A and B are shown apart, each in its own frame.
Chain A
Amino acid sequence: MSENPNETKLVNFAMANSIRRKIINFLADGYRSTGEIGEIVEKATLGFHLKILKDAGLIELEEETVKLSEYGTNFLKGKKEKNAEEITDFSQAKPIEIARVKQVLPCIADSSKLRVSANMTPPLSGVLKLLEPLFPRSNYSDRKDSLIIQKGEIITTVYGSGKVSIRMVENEDEAKEELERLKSIINEAIAKGEAPAPREKAKVDLIEIYKYLPQTNCGKCGEQGCYSFAIKLMARQVTLERCTLLKEPEYASKQEHLQVLTSYI
């Protein structure tokens, strides 16, 4: 069934709704009556959701009984196996190439910067999650199968389908450099074969950063005050070394705290 693009679209459509995903997972253990399913989802829309799942070939309906079809069972099994594979290594992954830079347009939030669309081949679907620890500021979304990577002001989104989008770059050359950097980091990891250890995540708060700064507003860093400096630190537009006061012995412990905090930004 998945070989047919039209049927694949129906399956994708069916699975893009969280209620239908809930029904499919509920059916994983076996037969269920429509009454039982009606207890976990809104009864008024149950018939509609079951019809979508049936049209996609994921379930079979017999009077009041609902079960996963053979395809639905394999689909669910395939998803689980794929998830299990995702946490192992890069043995199935092939080195990537940046196929083409498709579009260069001004950014929306800052029209002096550019956003660029590109494509990478082969697509990284399945191993994208493993790449997250390779980038200090990155976030993987399982539902969207996308990895968002931030480096300074530049934000890159890599999709499992192979699409890559970079925004906040100064010019096309910078975008190409960024794409090359991305390619070399990913290919290096694929060549090693081993997946990097998952990265510990911590959310750093602007106020917390400010709390550990000297709060003298001396201006030696070139900023209006310590709060402005904290904002720039959060945006990675400055480094901690710019604050010369922190190098003095009385601020030693605050500097240590800040070094730890800024490593999580």
Chain B
Amino acid sequence: MKSVFYLLNTAPYGSEKAFGALNAAAVSLNGMNVTLGLYGDGVYLAAADQDSTNLRMPNLSDILYSYGELRVLVHEPSLIERGLFDKTLIETIELVDEEDFLKEMENLDSVILF
């Protein structure tokens, strides 16, 4: 397996899923073509200036900044549906349409859903 698409479909805080997806993506970076796809509630991870202090969870946006080489695709229709249209987003992300998002998933060797 040379390429992997980690698909995050759940909100970044409140469960371990987003943290798990970021962990998996970070350890796969060495030697693999890795893409993290944010879909549905997963798109909240793209918001800049996250503060998780009160949640006692790691700040997940800092992880995205730490792993700047990680390719992060955000499903734009999900983002708009959730009213994040005019919010400041992390600069490392790329917004993509439904069709391009699916195309990216199809083009990689494996899709792992979180």
**A interface residues, Cβ below 8 angstroms from B:** 6, 9-10, 12-13, 16-19, 42, 45, 103, 105, 108-109, 115, 117, 139, 141, 143-146, 148, 157, 159-161, 163, 165, 167
User: Which residues of the partner chain B approach A161 to less than 8 Å between Cβ atoms?
Assistant: 91
The answer to whether A108 touches B63, judged by C-beta atoms less than 8 angstroms apart, is: yes
CB-CB under 8 A for A9 and B87, given A108-B27, A146-B68, A165-B66: yes
Question: Which residues of chain B are near A6, meaning CB under 8 Å?
Answer: 86
In the complex, what residue of chain B is closest to A110 when comparing beta carbons? B27
Inter-chain contact total with CB atoms closer than 8 Å = 77
The 17 sampled A-B contact pairs (Cβ below 8 Å) are A9-B87, A10-B86, A13-B89, A16-B94, A42-B99, A45-B99, A108-B63, A109-B26, A109-B27, A115-B66, A117-B65, A144-B91, A157-B67, A159-B65, A165-B68, A167-B66, A167-B67
Contact B22 A13 (CB under 8 A): no
A159 partner, pick from B23, B91, B95, B100, beta carbons under 8 A: B91
B92, A146: Cβ atoms under 8 Å? yes
Mask, B58-81, CB within 8 Å of A = 1, is: 110011011111000000100000
Report A-chain residues with C-beta under 8 Å of the C-beta of B26: 108-109
Q: Do the beta carbons of A16 and B93 come within 8 Å of each other?
A: yes
- Whole-angstrom CA separation of A160 from B88 in the bound complex: 16
Contact A9 B88 (CB under 8 A): yes
Q: Are B68 and A144 in contact (CB under 8 A)?
A: yes
Cβ-defined contact, A144 with B62, below 8 A: no
Contacts A9-B88, A146-B68, A163-B65 given: A105-B58 contact, CB under 8 Å? yes
- Give 4 A-B pairs besides A109-B26, A146-B68, A163-B65 with Cβ atoms closer than 8 angstroms: A16-B89, A17-B96, A19-B97, A148-B69
Min CB–CB distance B25 → chain A (angstroms): 9
Size bracket, chain B contacts: 20 to 34
Are B97 and A45 within 8 A (Cβ)? Answer: yes
State whether A108 touches B22 (Cβ < 8 A): yes
> Which residues of chain A have C-beta atoms less than 8 A from B95's C-beta?
13, 16-17
Q: Which of B29, B62, B93 has the most CB of A within 10 A?
A: B62
A191 vs chain B, min Cβ distance (A): 27
User: With a CB–CB cut-off of 8 A, which chain A residues contact B88?
Assistant: 9, 12
Give the Cβ gap from A2 to chain B, nearest Cβ, in Å.
14
Contacts of B62 in A (CB 8 A): 103, 105, 117, 165
Contacts of B23 in A (CB 8 A): 108
- Chain A residues positioned under 8 Å from B30 (CB to CB): 109
What is the CA–CA distance of A18 and B23 in the complex, to the nearest angstrom?
27
CA A111 to CA B63, docked complex, whole Å:
14
**Least Cβ distance of B3 to chain A in Å?**
17
Most chain A C-beta atoms within 10 Å of own C-beta, residue among B23, B26, B58, B67: B67
* A234 to B100 alpha-carbon distance, docked (Å): 35
Q: Which of B58, B59, B66 touches A157 (beta carbons < 8 Å)?
A: B66
Partner of A13, one of B63, B69, B86, B92: B86
Q: Please measure, in the bound complex, the distance between the C-alpha atom of A260 and the C-alpha atom of B92, giving whole angstroms.
A: 34
Distance (Å) between the CB of B81 and the closest chain A CB?
13
Return the contact of B97 from the options A17, A145, A148, A159 (Cβ within 8 A): A17
Q: With A and B bound together, what is the CA distance between A24 and B30 in angstroms?
A: 35
Neighbouring B residues of A159 by C-beta, 8 Å: 65, 68, 91
